[in-house]
Structure 1
Amino acid sequence: MRLQLALNVRDIDAAVDYYSKLFGVKPHKHYDSYANFAIQEPPLKLVLFRNPEAKERLHHVGVEVMDDSSVRTTLRRLTEAGVVDEVQRDETCCHATQDKIWSREPDGLRWEWYRITDDAPVEGLESLGKTCCTGTSGEENIGCS
């Protein structure tokens, strides 16, 4: 398990350059509007969305789990607690296929619990009309292409 921090950035290439230097690793994925780093130490999945118009730097926070049983256990626990906003299964988003559980805390910050089921899906399957990278149907899908 590792924490995910998803940030809105103005310039994806400048951000990738900076975070590569800061953490001493190259990005796991780097596209025109999206990049991510799988950092071993500290255990962190850093996700960058090119979103120059964003008013907030923080896009969302997440927890990446490595197996399906962790997703099921988390879904059961969050459902019992009454804090599940949305469940997505086999969602191709952010250049990977994932199972996701979304929750929103009282002040509006979005939390995502997820497991990557296919880290290299066929590109072009993503649809900007889906709820990719947002967890809600009414928000703009920034950084998903």
Structure 2
Amino acid sequence: MKRFHAHVAVENLETSIDFYSKLFGHPPTKMRDDYAKWMLEDPRINFAISARGHAVGVNHFGFQVDSAEELAELKRLAAAASSGAVLEQGVSACCYSDSEKHWTIDPQGLAWEHFHTMSDAVGFGIDTENQAGACCIPVRGSDRDAPPAKAACCIPADSSATQGACCG
């Protein structure tokens, strides 16, 4: 069964955790220094927030699935919707989870993630440009008809990164 996923980049994690905990009626299911996630059943959603240097606002949407077969079906649908422009990320550690995933970009440039989570991970993931298995969202170049970039766009892990360094 699919679960809708929304990930929002926030400026102040503590304030946002307080707000969403009150809005959803319970605390996060998973909480770290830079990340929080609510696994809601009604509506069935994986809602995550993070404070990792990305532009504040919607980071990406997606679907979390329970099986490799469901993930393969979502990949087929993503390829059909985006003329085959699917960024295969494969198995990666991201958002404190080990998952298999792929990405596509909608006509407005919004990233969509499809993933199957296998287990928890100790760290958030690798947040550096162009690393295989990195915890990143793909971006579209200036040509709206172009497929997503082959490499994902990330905020470097070091603290010298600026918010507009990559994903603006």
TM-score for both structures, normalised by structure 2: 0.73
Maintained 8 Å contact 2:68/2:116: yes
Structure 1 residues 35 and 76: alpha-carbon distance in aligned structure 2, compared to 1, 3 A threshold = same
Maintained 8 Å contact 1:51/1:142: no
User: Which position in structure 1 is the counterpart of 2:137?
Assistant: 134
User: Which position in structure 2 is the counterpart of 1:89?
Assistant: 90
Aligned residues: 140
- In structure 1, C-alpha distance between the alignment counterparts of 2:67 and 2:16, rounded to whole Å: 30
Runs of 4+ in 1 over 6 A off after TM superposition: none
Partner SS for 1:74: helix
TM-score for both structures, normalised by structure 1: 0.84
User: Which position in structure 1 is the counterpart of 2:19?
Assistant: 18
User: Which position in structure 1 is the counterpart of 2:74?
Assistant: 74
Which runs of structure 2 are paired with 1:7-86 in the superposition (5 Å)?
7-51=8-52, 54=55, 56-81=56-81, 82-86=83-87
- In structure 1, C-alpha distance between the alignment counterparts of 2:69 and 2:90, rounded to whole Å: 14
Partner SS for 1:134: coil
Maintained 8 Å contact 2:97/2:124: no
Gapped runs of 5+ residues in structure 1? none
Partner SS for 2:36: strand
* Deviation of the 1:50 alpha carbon: 0.8
Partner SS for 1:78: helix
- RMSD of the alignment, in Å? 2.3
- In structure 2, C-alpha distance between the alignment counterparts of 1:53 and 1:103, rounded to whole Å: 19
Q: Which has the larger radius of gyration?
A: 2
- In structure 2, C-alpha distance between the alignment counterparts of 1:52 and 1:133, rounded to whole Å: 12
Maintained 8 Å contact 1:94/1:133: no
- In structure 1, C-alpha distance between the alignment counterparts of 2:33 and 2:39, rounded to whole Å: 18
Partner SS for 1:87: strand
Structure with more relative contact order (C-alpha pairs < 8 Å, separation 6 or more): 1
Maintained 8 Å contact 1:35/1:49: yes
